[in-house]
């Protein structure tokens, strides 16, 4: 595996299970989330995956998912880079609210716009465009050079931090990205050309 980027959204978190807006709140994995992380690692091992470097956010649901995956790959001692640039988008005033409660308060259409649109931010929070403004420069500066050097990298992130990166890799428009959902615990495998464009993509959930 050379020039390979593996993207994984963390396993189910406690607030995913409760249908709550999480953002930067540092909640942990549920038992199902732990199981999803083990399955992701087993799937990658079955693919013959071997990675040279790992990246994740400052949030423990992503960190613990990564640690479980690396354990499944027998790569527990792999160097890991932790950075807030890879955190989930900040949901501002929505953090801690049940999504159904938010719809009752602001209306289903408005909450849907906050969740799925590219450049409309919830009150006090980040839009997907805002999230991309920190994820993409980090990717360009820290991750892309490792891939261009022939290394294989795993990045365990969050629904929206990964949506912003997949949007760039897959060259999706702001309209197209509205339909993009990243499943928990399901690896996406990209093989990249030396110029950083995508040569091949595999979704292990497919």
| Number of compact structural domains in the chain | 1
**Catalytic residue check, 88:** yes
**Rg, the chain, Cα only:** 16
SS3 call for 155: strand
Mean pLDDT throughout 123-137?
97
What is the chain's mean pLDDT, rounded? 96
Active site residue 200: no
Catalytic residue among 12, 36, 72, 88: 88
What pLDDT band is residue 26 in, cutting at 50, 70 and 90?
Answer: very high
Sign of CA dihedral 172, 16, 64, 188: negative
Could you list the residue range(s) of the whole structural domain that residue 30 is in?
A: 4-203
Catalytic residue among 10, 12, 36, 90: 10
CB 25 within 8 A of CB 6: no
Q: What is the CATH number of the domain that holds 41?
A: 3.40.50.1240
Determine the Cα–Cα distance for residues 200 and 16; give it in Å rounded to an integer. Answer: 30
pLDDT tens digits, one per residue of 154-204: 999 999 999 999 999 999 999 999 999 999 999 999 999 988 999 999 999
92 exposure class (CB count in 10 Å sphere: 0-12, 13-18, 19+): middle
Banded pLDDT at 2 (limits 50, 70, 90): confident
Hey, what's the torsion of the CAs at 42, 47, 52, 54, to 10 degrees?
Answer: -50
């Amino acid at each position: 595996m050379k020039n390979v980027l593996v993207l994984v959204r963390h396993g189910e978190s406690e607030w995913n299970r409760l249908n709550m807006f999480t953002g930067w709140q540092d909640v942990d994995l549920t038992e199902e989330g732990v199981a999803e992380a083990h399955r992701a690692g087993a799937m990658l091992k079955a693919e013959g995956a071997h990675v040279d470097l790992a990246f994740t956010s400052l949030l423990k649901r992503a960190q613990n998912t990564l640690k479980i995956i690396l354990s499944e790959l027998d790569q527990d001692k792999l160097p890991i880079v932790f950075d807030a640039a890879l955190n989930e988008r900040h949901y501002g005033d929505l953090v801690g609210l049940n999504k159904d409660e938010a719809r009752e308060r602001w209306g289903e259409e408005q909450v849907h716009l906050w969740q799925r649109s590219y450049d409309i931010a919830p009150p006090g929070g980040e839009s997907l465009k805002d999230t991309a403004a920190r994820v993409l420069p980090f990717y360009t500066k820290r991750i892309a050079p490792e891939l261009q050097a022939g290394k294989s990298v795993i990045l365990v992130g969050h629904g929206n931090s990964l949506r912003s990166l997949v949007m760039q890799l897959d060259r999706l428009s702001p309209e197209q990205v509205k339909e993009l959902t990243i499943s928990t615990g399901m690896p996406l495998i990209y093989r990249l050309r030396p110029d950083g464009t995508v040569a091949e993509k595999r979704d292990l959930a497919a």
